[in-house]
A and B are shown apart, each in its own frame.
Chain A
């Protein structure tokens, strides 16, 4: 399979390294970052591209724009992992639209395009007979989309609960374990590289809500957006409140919840009992699916990180490869 990688930051480099190190039958024929691009139908020298990126800050030819690579390179699947604005999902949405319109599969780790334009992109992929996959957008390394679409195909998912944001979970874990204040725990998260300089997006529950939107639209085709989610963040939680919860063998976690029967889409700090399956430590993610046949299933795994996200992207690519090999 030939792929074009759009975006050469943490995830893009992670994908390149995995392709380079493992014999997966994947060749990279197009590569771009925000300011340069490179195309080679016989396969790009990834070691050289990584080296160039490290020394010059650019992976390829500065006269090539990312969209030139999307439109011009010879590939089967686009890997869209460029930095993307969450407000309008760009530039990733345009890249994906162009690739799908060319009859190329698209795999992305970008939440913006999927949260904002899922139906449009899905229909576009359908009309061109190609696949749109986005395992990496939700719960990092946990193959939740694959489980939903393949392994639980005959089930009806009745409800979903999840710990979808590693930053919030880390902060709450530290507040509970060490009695830290919110500000202290946030400072620690920044030091460890788990929180951005502006943590609003994570701590206000927006990131978790976007992931909930993606899950709800995938599972139930609800056609919802961020505005349909009731969102409360963790920035007002006090160590005293956590201690009061702990007195009763419970604690506080940021929980994303979807129950379509009740019209409920909510991200909020909640009290959960010690020993509860969703009570994971540190930056881990967890999702519980309530299904009609399989009952309750809980998945736990790493929610972020270069290699973990690359794992989800590679899984999508190989899944597309398998599907199309089987079809021939």
Chain B
């Protein structure tokens, strides 16, 4: 099962590694480590989000191991896809099988369509949609966007991406 954890640890060398060790001992596989050094944090505390794949029944053991190392778990949950990006689609969205488009994203295993808002101004006219994708990592997001572009190109749907600088 996939699990996400938000951890709070001391911002000192070796802290992050000391958390990662028990994960592998529990047979877990790390999918993503997202760590943001807060600009204002002079408190010496580091916030880290970890997404991992863990064998069933090992979660309690892992939580105990992490706590033993003096690391606080501030949140734990099944929500594993932190990143989201909204794009616009313009074209004959319904008639080119929108459920197939969504399926192709969902079937990747690393990305999901979490929102779709569709506007159809008139019969036979091109429709417009806002589609939101969710993934765990930036690499996955870029792959998902590339896939959406590829699928849409075949269906002659224009994709408008956000400017990511």
Contact = CB atoms under 8 A, between A and B. Distances in A.
A270 interface: yes
A240 B128 contact: yes
A283 interface: no
Interface in B131-165: 158, 160-163, 165
Interface string B77-115: 000000000111011000000000000000000000000
Majority secondary structure, B binding face: strand
Contacts of A232: 158
Interface string A267-284: 011111000101000000
B65 interface: no
A241 B162 contact: no
B163 A270 contact: yes
A238 B130 contact: no
A238 B121 contact: yes
A280 B45 CA distance: 41
A257 B163 CA distance: 9
A247 B88 CA distance: 12
B30 interface: no
A248 B86 contact: yes
A238 B90 contact: yes
Contacts of B160: 237, 241, 245, 252, 268-271
Contacts of A255: 163
Given A240-B121, A240-B127, A244-B119, A271 B165 contact: no
Contacts of A236: 90-91, 126, 158
A268 B160 CA distance: 8
Interface residues of B, number: 19
A271 B158 CA distance: 13
A136 B8 CA distance: 55
Interface in B53-95: 86-88, 90-91
A317 to B, nearest CB: 35
A240 B161 CA distance: 16
B90 A161 contact: no
A275 to B, nearest CB: 13
A250 interface: yes
A94 B112 CA distance: 56
Of A238, A247, A255, A268, which is in contact with the most chain B CB atoms at under 10 Å from its CB?
A: A238
B89 to A, nearest CB: 8
A250 B86 CA distance: 10
Contact of A238 (B86, B117, B128, B161): B128
A244 B89 CA distance: 10
Interface string A154-169: 0000010100000000
A250 B162 contact: yes
Nearest to B163: A270
Of B87, B91, B127, B165, which is in contact with the most chain A CB atoms at under 10 Å from its CB?
A: B165
A244 B88 contact: yes
B129 interface: yes
Contacts of B127: 240
A118 to B, nearest CB: 27
11 contacts: A236-B91, A236-B126, A237-B158, A241-B128, A244-B88, A244-B119, A245-B130, A248-B130, A255-B163, A271-B88, A276-B163
Interface of B: 86-88, 90-91, 117, 119, 121, 126-130, 158, 160-163, 165
Given A161-B163, A244-B88, A271-B160, 17 more contacts: A159-B165, A236-B91, A236-B158, A237-B160, A238-B121, A238-B128, A240-B119, A241-B160, A243-B119, A244-B130, A248-B130, A250-B162, A268-B160, A270-B163, A271-B87, A271-B88, A276-B163
